[in-house]
Amino acid sequence: MGVWSQGTVSANGLEVFYRRTGGDKPPLLLLHGYTDNGACWGPTAQALEADYDIIMPDARGHGQTSGAPGTMNTALLAQDAAAIIRALDLGKTIVFGHSMGGITALALAANDPDLVLAAMLEDPPFMLDEHFAPSAEQVQNLEVEKKDAQAFRMLPLEARIARGRADNPGWSDDELVPWAASKGEFNLDIVSFHLGFRGYLWRQDIAKVTCPLLLITGNAAKGCFVTPELALVSEQLCPTCTTAYINGAGHCIHRDRFDETMAAVSSFLKQNIQKEAGTRQSDKGSARGFG
């Protein structure tokens, strides 16, 4: 990871810890997945920091962000993201989210369009049963999952890295090390949150999005939530949505196929952002007397 600034900002009742690459560049907010943290975006931030001011917050209940997790849901996480953008005075921001961060980015783009210049969603957990109610068995299984998470976090970091390497042999150490470290930092009370993904009315929100939207998906057979059918539905509901299919990738697309993912992201940003951003920077320079 580069030598980046770190800080906290008060947002929506939290003290949000974030990392930032900085510079007078278009802001890009990276929203991590469930049980990860902002440090997990290191390689992605390194790939994009030359052109963007990258902000990597730890989400509610994750990493070094402090404050009660509350009854976590997608709407609340989107409100957190909006509060971060406002508190840091970022203006219109590009948002890129993975998994939990992906549906957070979608909810933000749909409900706070004045804050979002463009959004990229990496395998957000779009579910077919949008009016899902958890069964008693599923709720009971959460206790097992919580115990497993507790046991994993008690392992030494090197053991967590080794487990991750065995399960994901294609991941680089730059991805594995922060991933393993993040599993020792999240609040165990958030374990029940992933069932709440099933109740998020993503179809309603994606139909409201007007900014450029990139949906990044991979192989459903490898665990991707966004199937080809759901990608097609997304494009039908949102005229500004395009899909990037990354062959051979599972749910953690940018970790499984980093180069291919970054190529899709860079192409999307070049087509939708960089020309506009360059124009805005030129206008800003003219206003300062440098034009």
Per the domain annotation, does 104 fall within a domain? yes
Q: Write out the two tokens for 129.
A: 């049963």
Which of 155, 287, 22, 40 has its CA nearest to residue 30? 40
Which of 57, 45, 71, 78 has its CA nearest to residue 15? 57
State residue 131's pLDDT score: 59
Per the domain annotation, does 228 fall within a domain? yes
State residue 2's pLDDT score: 58
Residue-number span of the structural domain to which 264 is assigned: 5-131+196-287
Q: What is the CATH classification number for the domain harbouring 18?
A: 3.40.50.1820
Q: What is the dihedral of CA 209, 225, 263, 35, to 10 degrees?
A: 90
- In the chain, the amino acid numbered 77 is L
Per the domain annotation, does 190 fall within a domain? no
Dump strand ranges (E) for the chain.
5-11, 14-20, 27-31, 53-57, 93-98, 116-122, 213-217, 241-245
Q: Name the domain count of the chain.
A: 1
Per the domain annotation, does 267 fall within a domain? yes
Distances from the Cα of 232 to the Cαs of 122, 150, 215, 229, 242, in angstroms? Answer: 15, 38, 10, 5, 9
Per the domain annotation, does 225 fall within a domain? yes
State residue 233's pLDDT score: 95
Distances from the Cα of 233 to the Cαs of 5, 198, 239, in angstroms? Answer: 40, 17, 11
Mean pLDDT for each 10-residue chunk of the chain (291 residues)?
Answer: 86 97 96 97 97 97 93 92 98 97 97 98 81 72 89 96 95 96 94 76 95 97 94 97 97 97 97 64 37 30
State residue 1's pLDDT score: 52
